[in-house]
Amino acid sequence: MKISYAEIINEIYVEEISNEAFTLAKEYGYLPYMVQRYIDMIGVVDTEKLLNAFEHFSYTPAILCNHIHVDCNQLVDRLKELGFILERIPWCENCYKVVSQPKSPSLGSTHEFLKGLYYVYRDASSLVPPLVLNPLYHTHVLDMCAAPGGKTVHILLLINDMGVVVANDISPKRGASLLSNLYRMGFKSHVVLAENAIKLPEKVDMKFDYILLDAPCSAEGAIMFDRKRKTKTSQQVLAKLVKKEIELLYSASKLVKPGGAIVYSTCSIAPEENEYVITKILERLNNIEIAESPLNLWSKGLLKFRELKFDGAMSKCIRIWPHVHGMEGYFVCLLRRR
């Protein structure tokens, strides 16, 4: 699908920055257009709450138990003996928040970790996209941008390692981490590729029941982990990211079976990378529609942003806000091919 950079930059570029946005941008160290965006989405008061949440975020890693190879209750008891205090995440089976941990060993150096009995996430938000995808046993699943492998691991556990998961990542270097994690955790039902995901329809002669596209993005929802994100992404760079995200989602639409599901997700709170991307696909394809998520505990997708109006079904999508939900910022949307 051809979409021009000029069209995108024309629709998303903002020149007028309010005094409030300039003041908050200077105080917190952001590009002014980003703060203006937050104000336009959630107002000045909640924007200050969001910026404060990024500054004072309480880091709580999460682990996913490899229930295929260990009894999760026994794993919790073993980690407790080592000094880790875990709290079960109620909306994710076999998932736990790490409430506290000892100085040694670290989460990534225990014998249990090295034996592949659990996977470590920096934040629980990463658990949401595979749960929304909700793949069944004995199906074909594609993880388009898979490295370092956390969501691939989760998918394999959801299908109980019974089916076929194709895990792709364009970067061989990142792919090495993906392979290492899949090998460490003892899975068998996977194939790993290192292709440009936009060109996958030309390279892969098969259709998938489920596709996860956790798209490369500005990572604006993860500023608490990387403060450079406050100034890293100019509007011009953002437009290039959006163009790539639209092309990736279009490729996913060509690879999914009729009746199949696609989850589009980003660790960004920017509507340009989320609702806008979904809208561009819906405008061009009449066989893709937004579906109701099986897990909807957070905020809804936006129906409008500045002069842009989005499909009413966008309310079925998920937005996770750091200042509201105490988690990394995320967008997750379930799509189906008619």
CA angle 111-59-153, nearest 5°? 50
**In DSSP terms, which residues pair with 319 in a beta bridge?**
299, 331
Catalytic residue flag (residue 267): yes
Count CB-CB contacts under 10 A for residue 135.
Answer: 23
In 3D space, the residue among 283, 315, 320, 321 whose CA is nearest the CA of residue 301 turns out to be 315
Q: What is the second-level CATH architecture of the domain 62-121? A: 2-Layer Sandwich (3.30)
Spell out the alpha helix ranges (H) of 68-169: 72-81, 111-114, 128-133, 150-158
The residue assigned the tokens 């104000």 is 39
Sign of CA dihedral 175, 179, 182, 187: positive
Count CB-CB contacts under 10 A for residue 45.
Answer: 9
Of 92, 217, 267, 333, the catalytic one is 267
In 3D space, the residue among 186, 200, 173 whose CA is nearest the CA of residue 262 turns out to be 200
Question: b/e per residue, 65-88, with b = 16+ CB within 10 A?
Answer: bbebebebeebbebbeeeebebee
Residue 197: per-residue pLDDT: 97
Question: What three-state secondary structure class fits 159?
Answer: coil
Q: Are strands 95-100 and 85-88 parallel, antiparallel or unpaired?
A: antiparallel
Q: What is residue 124's DSSP assignment?
A: G
What do you get for the CA distance between the two ends of the chain, in Å? 19
Residue 3: per-residue pLDDT: 87
Residue 254: per-residue pLDDT: 97
Residue 231: per-residue pLDDT: 98
Task: Write down the domain spans for the chain.
Answer: 5-55, 62-121, 124-337
Note down pLDDT in tens along the chain; length 338 residues. 778 999 999 999 998 999 999 999 999 999 999 999 999 999 999 999 999 999 999 889 999 999 999 999 999 999 999 999 999 999 999 999 999 999 999 999 999 999 999 999 999 999 999 999 999 999 999 999 999 999 999 999 999 999 999 999 999 888 899 999 999 999 999 999 999 999 999 999 999 999 999 999 999 999 999 999 999 999 999 999 999 999 999 999 999 999 999 999 999 999 999 999 999 999 999 999 999 999 989 999 999 999 899 999 999 999 999 999 999 999 999 999 99
Number of H helices and number of E strands within the chain? 12, 15
Return d(Cα 64, Cα 89) in angstroms, integer: 10
CB 262 within 8 Å of CB 336? yes
The residue assigned the tokens 């390692």 is 161
Query: In Å, what is the CA distance from 170 to each residue of 14, 105, 186, 248?
Result: 32, 33, 23, 12
124-337: CATH topology is: Rossmann fold (3.40.50)
Residue 174: per-residue pLDDT: 87
